[in-house]
Amino acid sequence: MTCKLSPIISVDSVELDVSPYVKVSVVIKGAFSDFLKDEELSKYIRAVCVLSIYDPDSQEVSNSVEAVLESKAHWKDTEWYKNARGWDAYLRAEKVLPTDSAVFDIDLSDIVRAGEVITQDDKVSWNKTYLSYFTYIQVNTQQMAEDFNIAIADEYKGMAGDYETGVIMIGGVVVDSDERSFNVRDLREVVEEEPVDGGSCSP
Amino acid sequence: MTKSNSHFTDLMITKDISGNADFIFGVDMDRMAIDNSAYSALIADMADVAKRQIAANSEILSFNIVRRQVKKELSLNSLGSPQKPEVFSDETISHQVLGSVGEMSEVPLSISGKTSGIKYLTASDMGLSKQTAGTYQYELSISTVCGFIPTVNKLLKKLYRTSNDVDDYLALLDIPDNYDSNKQKSKISIRAAKTDEMSKTYVDAISYFQNLKNIDEEYKRASSLIASRSASKESIGIFQKRLNTVIDKVERLISKTGTGATPSGVANKPANSGLPNASTMEIKQSFSNTISVENKDNKFVDYFKGKGKVGGGLNVYSSSEVRNSKPETIYLEAPMTSLESLEARGVTFVINPIVESTAIDTSPQEMISSKKYIDSSATTVGGLLSDDLSPIDLSEASVASLVSTVDISAAVSSMAPKLSSVNSFQAPADKITKVMPKEITTGAMTKEAPAMTQPRTMVLVASQASEPASCSTKSSESMLKSPEWKPLEEVSGEKGAVMLCKQEGELSDVANGFFLMEMK
């Protein structure tokens, strides 16, 4: 059986804070969106936003986030981004109640460093990182089954709708407005030229 | 304020075929303007963008190049050691060669394909060919108005204007029902062109204090905070706070100048409008290279016969012309023999063939007994300049009567190498023969001194050891001296590149010894 939830979470704006902290404002689109407002049901439904600093061009991980979501691994494991092999170093997620103006506040400070100074943990710099998002609506079917005393197969423990994805920045540079459907407020401080031995620049 | 400085390259000077001087020199105008500013200490802490802008706002009041005759005088340093052999002497009069920078042509010189920030200027001294003799030196004087105060004032004015715009923007969002806090959208906002201008002003100001990695990205970043489609009240507030920080920085900079220029004072004053506190600086540069009017041996070598111009600075030749160039020796006069050279120096020889049977004039006044001067009694009577020595005018003396031609030959031969104009000298036992050089007028240059360096064309290239560099006000000298000369064969350049070349290794003077080569 294929179960598909119609609402899609679209990103309206992204705010890149000074520290590695991101605020993602979303809007929920689709016929099912009114249904999400039902208080009885809404407690089982969550809007999920996953931020990824994994640069697919680096090919450090054999799989891609898209491939994981396509395989519906998140249906079986609702917190796949925490447990899946190797993804913990690249992904951070937040779940919120799906409202008209849902905002995700996601702290990336444990995987991204704010300044340019390289420390022992060797995190990627906030001014150089790749950043993309994945959003979807997910139903906690397992909880629902427990509450309503119904049996449900493991592969439907976390039924989810279609996901939406987009790239926010590449190498620390926000993608051009022509290539994205959302606004970006970039609150990060200016990036200084890296010092070169023997001088700074030529006029 | 007058300062000497090291913002100039050497003066590379040559003569054209008419004897006019063509010269070129490099000057780091930006660094010169900054290093000689009264505010150089403040400027040193500013970013490269600011330094360039300050240099651009420095206005040249006067520009002069003068020529002065120099004479060889041995001057001693404080330790008593000889230093510069040629010095300006007080009695020489300066002749103006150029009276404005507009009389010089800027050469888009490519040094190993890099632009070093040095401006190369070339011009000609058409008056040198009118000089009859002497060695000459050139001196450059520039008087400029420092661009620091105008630059900072201009910046501050723009920042104040932007600050007012931000206030207006926030006031607009405070209009009832205009701003939706939840959606962070306003119904009435300001034009994108305006927010772009505001963000540009802010980033440009930041760039005066920090060397930004990518200024275009910073424009976008700043714009994202205030552009109406993405801005929130909070993000505009952040922009305002950052703008005020920059304004504070610029105000503090002005207060440090001690010029009395105040933020309120500059706000309504147009930049570059004859500010009372604008400082002027006088820069003098005496180039050590000299040029002599006389040609060595009255000849010169021309590698580009029939090509090139007279005046207008160094000649430009294509790379193929340079590679196919052949030296030709041009004699200004028929070359002198050794004897003619001696005659030119006031010594007259009258050559009489030696005839053993010829009776020697033994008139009493010319008979000189040397016995008393060279025998054992000489010490008691005195030396050769004894009062009773009969006067002899050596310039009119019969040389043959005194010495044989063999002796003359031996004497002149030993002198010949020391005489610059001696071409050849042969003295058979019984006569002296002038031997003319094989090519008296023009012709392919022969090897005059095989043991010396082979003549070759050299090209100015950047030294691999030292990259040109920075806007730091400390290392100007090393930057200007970093280029080096490399043989033409070892140099390649992109099509259209203009390179500075020189002919090296010639024993004779070379016309157009420095020239420009355009790569084809």
Q: What is the pLDDT of residues B188-218, one digit of tens each?
A: 888 899 999 999 999 999 999 999 999 999 9
User: Residue B214: which of A184, A191, A201 has the nearest Cβ?
Assistant: A191
- Higher-confidence position of B443 and B111: B111
Encoded tokens for B492: 């390649």
**One-letter amino acid identity for A169?**
M
A45-59, A116-130, B107-121, range with greatest mean pLDDT = A45-59
On whether both B16 and B141 belong to a single domain, the answer is yes
Region B312-333 average pLDDT:
90
Using the 3D structure, point to which of B365, B400, B418 is the last residue of a domain: B418
Among B250-259, B348-357, B384-393, B511-520, the range of highest mean pLDDT: B511-520
Question: What three-state secondary structure class fits A68?
Answer: helix
Identify the pLDDT of residue B341: 64
Q: Classify residue A15 as exposed, middle or buried by CB count within 10 Å of its CB (0-12, 13-18, 19+).
A: buried
- B439 vs B410, which has greater pLDDT? B410
Q: Do A192 and B31 touch (CB under 8 A)?
A: no
- Number of Cβ atoms within 10 Å of the Cβ of B465: 7
Question: What digits encode the pLDDT tens for the residues B293-304?
Answer: 988 888 899 999
Chain B CB contacts of A13 below 8 Å = 184, 230
**What does the domain layout of chain A look like in residue ranges?**
8-183
Alpha carbon distance A65, A136 (integer Å): 13
CA closest to B232 among chain A residues: A185
pLDDT per residue over B109-151, tens digit each? 887 665 566 889 999 999 999 988 889 999 999 998 888 988 9
Among the candidates B369, B394, B418, a domain finishes at B418
Nearest-Cα distance to chain A for B42, in Å, is 17
* pLDDT given for residue B64 in this prediction: 94
Task: Inspect the interface and report whether the beta carbons of A193 and B211 lie closer than 8 Å.
Answer: yes
B138 and B153 fall within a common domain: no
List the domain range (segments joined by +) for residue B291: 2-147+281-331+450-518
Lowest mean pLDDT among A3-7, B20-24, B367-371, B487-491: B367-371
Could you tell me if A15 lies within 8 Å of chain B, comparing CB atoms?
Answer: yes
Sign of CA dihedral A56, A57, A61, A63: positive
B69 and B162 co-located in one domain:
no
Residue with more model confidence, B174 or A52: A52
Evaluated on CA atoms B386, B389, B393, B399, the torsion sign reads negative
Question: Which residues on chain A are in Cβ contact (under 8 Å) with B31?
Answer: 203
pLDDT at B379: 41
Q: Which of the given ranges, B54-63, B252-261, B420-429, has the highest pLDDT on average?
A: B54-63
Same domain for B218 and B358, yes or no, is no
Q: What is the pLDDT of residues A76-95, one digit of tens each?
A: 888 888 866 778 889 999 99
Quick check: A157 pLDDT over 90? no
Q: What is the pLDDT of residue B383?
A: 35
CB contact under 8 A, B471 and A203: yes
Q: What is the DSSP letter of A170?
A: E
Residue of B nearest to A201 (CA): B470
- B276 or B516, greater pLDDT: B516
Which has the minimum average pLDDT: A117-121, B180-184, B314-318?
A: A117-121
Closest CA of chain B from A195, distance in Å: 9
In a domain, B17, yes or no: yes
| Same domain (yes/no): B240, B347 | no
A18 reaches B (C-beta below 8 A): no
Residue of B nearest to A186 (CA): B221
**CA-CA distance, B288 to B268, in Å (whole number)?**
47
Helix (H, G, I), strand (E, B) or coil at B136: strand
Q: Nearest by CB to B235, from A187, A191, A194: name it.
A: A187
B381 pLDDT exceeds 60? no
What phi, psi does B480 have (nearest 5°)? -70, -25
Query: Last residue of some domain: B267, B289, B308?
Result: B267
State whether residue A63 sits within 8 Å of chain B by CB.
Answer: no
Q: How confident is the model at residue B337 (pLDDT cuts 50, 70, 90)?
A: low
Task: Please give the pLDDT value at position B371.
Answer: 44
Please tell me whether residue B185 adopts helix, strand or coil conformation: strand
Q: Is the pLDDT of residue B415 over 60?
A: no
Average pLDDT over every residue of B493-516:
90
Do the Cβ atoms of B123 and B14 come closer than 8 Å?
Answer: no
More confident residue, B322 or B346: B322
DSSP codes, B58-123: -EEEEEEEEEEEEEE---B-TTS-B--SEEE-TTPPPEEEESSGGGSEEE-B-BTTB--SPEEEEE
Tell whether B134 and B57 lie within a shared domain.
yes
Q: Is B210 on the interface with A (CB under 8 A)?
A: yes
How far does the CA of residue B96 sit from the closest CA of chain A (Å)?
32
Answer yes or no: do A183 and B224 touch at CB < 8 A.
yes
Once rounded to an integer, what is the mean pLDDT over residues A147-165? 88
User: Of all residues in chain B, what percent carry a pLDDT higher than 70?
Assistant: 63
B213 interfacial to chain A (CB closer than 8 Å): yes
Contact B221 A202 (CB under 8 A): no
A198 and B206 within 8 Å at the Cβ level: the answer is no
Distance CA A170, CA B217 (A): 12
Give residue A14's pLDDT.
96
Best CA proximity match to B271, nearest among B54, B52, B30 = B54
User: Which pair of tokens denotes residue B370?
Assistant: 């040397």
Task: Count how many domains chain B has.
Answer: 3
Contact check, Cβ <8 Å, A199/B231: no
Mean pLDDT value across residues B62-84: 75
Residues B135 and B159 in one domain: no
Domain match, B47 and B171 both: no
Q: Tell me which DSSP letter residue B212 carries.
A: B
CB contact under 8 A, A203 and B229: no
Q: How far is A68 from chain B (nearest CA, A)?
A: 32
Q: Which of A195, A174, A112 is nearest to B219 (CA)?
A: A174
Query: Is residue B427 assigned to a domain?
Result: no
Q: How confident is the model at residue A143 (pLDDT cuts 50, 70, 90)?
A: confident
Q: What is the mean pLDDT of residues B260-281?
A: 53
Nearest neighbour of B471 by CB, restricted to A13, A190, A202: A202
| Domain membership flag for residue B54 | yes
Distance CA A78, CA A80 (A): 6
Distance from CA of A187 to the nearest CA of B (A): 7
> Rounded mean pLDDT of B485-491?
90
Q: Do B5 and B15 meet the contact criterion of CB atoms below 8 Å apart?
A: no
Share of chain B above pLDDT 90, in %: 33
pLDDT of B58 reads 87
Residue B230 banded pLDDT, cuts 50, 70, 90: confident
Q: State whether B88 and B98 are in the same domain.
A: yes
Is B396 found in the same domain as B356? Answer: yes
| Residue B430 binned pLDDT confidence (cut-offs 50, 70, 90) | very low
Q: What is the mean pLDDT of residues B274-282?
A: 65
Please report which confidence band the pLDDT of residue B374 belongs to, taking 50, 70 and 90 as the band edges: very low
Among the partner residues A183, A187, A200, nearest to B471 by beta-carbon distance: A200
Residues of A in contact with B471 (CB under 8 A): 199-203
Dump pLDDT digits (tens) for A185-194: 999 999 888 7
Q: Which residues of B406-417 are buried (b: 16+ CB within 10 A; e: fewer)?
A: eebbeebeeebe
Q: How far is B200 from chain A (nearest CA, A)?
A: 13
- Whether residue B225 and residue A184 make contact (CB cut-off 8 A), yes or no, is no
Mean pLDDT of chain B: 75
Q: What angle do CA B427, B432, B435 make, to 5 degrees?
A: 85
- Please tell me whether the overall predicted TM-score, pTM, comes out greater than 0.80 for this model: no
Interface test with chain B among A19, A173, A187, A190, by most B beta carbons within 10 Å: A190
Average pLDDT over chain A, rounded to an integer: 84
Q: Where are the beta strands (DSSP E) in B108-259?
A: 119-125, 135-145, 179-180, 185-186
For residues B308 and B317, the answer to whether their CB atoms sit within 8 Å is: yes
B206 and B243 in a common domain: yes
Nearest to A185 among B30, B225, B471 (CB): B225
Q: At B171, give phi and psi (nearest 5°).
A: -65, -35
- Is B81 in the same domain as B136? yes
Which chain A residues are Cβ-neighbours of B214 within 8 angstroms? 173, 191
**Cβ of residue B55 closer than 8 Å to a chain A Cβ:** yes
Q: In angstroms, rounded to a whole number, what is the distance separating the alpha carbons of residues A47 and A49?
A: 7
CA atoms of B357 and B359, how far apart (whole Å): 6
CA B53 to chain centre: 25
| Long-range contact pairs involving B165-172 (C-beta distance under 8 Å, separation at least 24) | B165/B190, B165/B194, B165/B198, B166/B198, B166/B226, B166/B236, B166/B239, B166/B240, B166/B243, B167/B240, B169/B195, B169/B226, B169/B236, B170/B233, B170/B236, B170/B237, B170/B240
Number of A/B CB contacts below 8 angstroms equals 86
Q: How confident is the model at residue B59 (pLDDT cuts 50, 70, 90)?
A: confident
A183, A191, A199 member nearest B230 (Cβ)? A183
CB B451 within 8 A of CB B507: no
